[in-house]
Amino acid sequence: MLIWGELPGVRELQDFENDVSTHRRIKFRIRDVMKCFPESGHPMDALQASAAALGLFYSRRVLDDPLYIRQAVVRLVAKIPTMVAAFQLIRKGLDPIRPRDDLSYAANFLYMLSEKEPEPLAARVLDACLILHAEHSLNASTFSARVTASTLTDPYAVVASAVGTLAGPLHGGANEDVLDMLDEIGSPDRVEPFLDQCLARKQRIAGFGHRVYRVKDPRARILQELAERLFACYGSDATYDLAHLLEEKVEERLAGKGVYANVDFYSGLVYRRLGIPADLFTPVFAIARVAGWLAHWKEQLGANRIFRPSQIYTGVDPRPWPPRRELGAAGAAAG
């Protein structure tokens, strides 16, 4: 529905799911390219390069052809999770795990990380997380995708551009920051002093506040419920309990200013409980958001006009240009 604008019928949904599941594999040459990346490289950089490389293998570009658009959507939605999982294993010196056609989208991704079929609850929770992150209006990476799309380049470049934007710490890395913050706090007795320090220094508290919402992010409410189900089933831990306490104390102090938990506060806790490494949190965000990016790409093509904002000059006032001989003399004096 997000991409095509209409709820699919039973047959349409089945056909789309079948197409995605049969296009999950990536070419061996893409895997070979990924093996050239340094093991220390961030997975988002690897994903950006790999997404761009897809355009070399699917270079036919007919942007007014509905079949081309559908094929590109299927390929990118299907292959992005495979590329994320493949690099995770490649950088550990292991061979990528072949995707399975018989697993759901979320279950297959978890399987490709460990070659273990996930528990049904784990797959359902990740599936819900992906849906919650699929689209959220004109954020930075989506804007980047639309600007790139407006040039009428291929969709692989559009997604690569969006991935590069999402990689920035002010956009996609906040859930990693939440876990780092909770690890820094360490224990319940450190919560109040930590908040005192942040407020005194006017520092941002990771996972709280939003540019749009002045109430608790509705996605965070759903993620909190998912986290509770997940931890109730698999067992709680000290970090999860600490997060609850921190949210309680932040709301006591800052709710009056419209500062509440956002979607990033609970997503990192959920991902870590699912066994996903911290530096894959943002790539998982990209796996979810690729559907939204492609929906915006398709919409941009429907009524395209290249982005070319006007610019207001705010530099110095005009200055006289000195004669050439004075420029030469000034250069000689400087030397």
List, by residue number, the catalytic residues.
210, 264
| Residue 44: partners with Cβ closer than 8 Å, 6 or more residues away | 163, 164, 166, 167, 172, 282, 283, 286
> What value, to the nearest 5°, has the Cα angle with vertex 234 and ends 268 and 224?
40
CA 120 to chain centre: 24
Map tokens 């894959």 to a residue.
280
3-state SS record for the chain: CCCCCCCCCHHHHHHHHHHHHHCCCCCHHHHHHHHCCCCCCCHHHHHHHHHHHHHHHCCCCCCCCHHHHHHHHHHHHHHHHHHHHHHHHHCCCCCCCCCCCCCCHHHHHHHHHHCCCCCHHHHHHHHHHHHHHCCCCCCHHHHHHHHHHCCCCCHHHHHHHHHHHHCCCCCCCHHHHHHHHHHHHCCHHHHHHHHHHHHHHCCCCCCECCCCCCCCCHHHHHHHHHHHHHHHHHCCCHHHHHHHHHHHHHHHHHHHHCCCECHHHHHHHHHHHCCCCHHHHHHHHHHHHHHHHHHHHHHHHHCCCCCCCCCCCCCCCCCCCCCHHHHHHHHHHHC
Q: What is the largest CA-CA distance in the chain?
A: 81
29, 58, 99, 198 from 26: Cα distances, Å: 8, 12, 9, 45
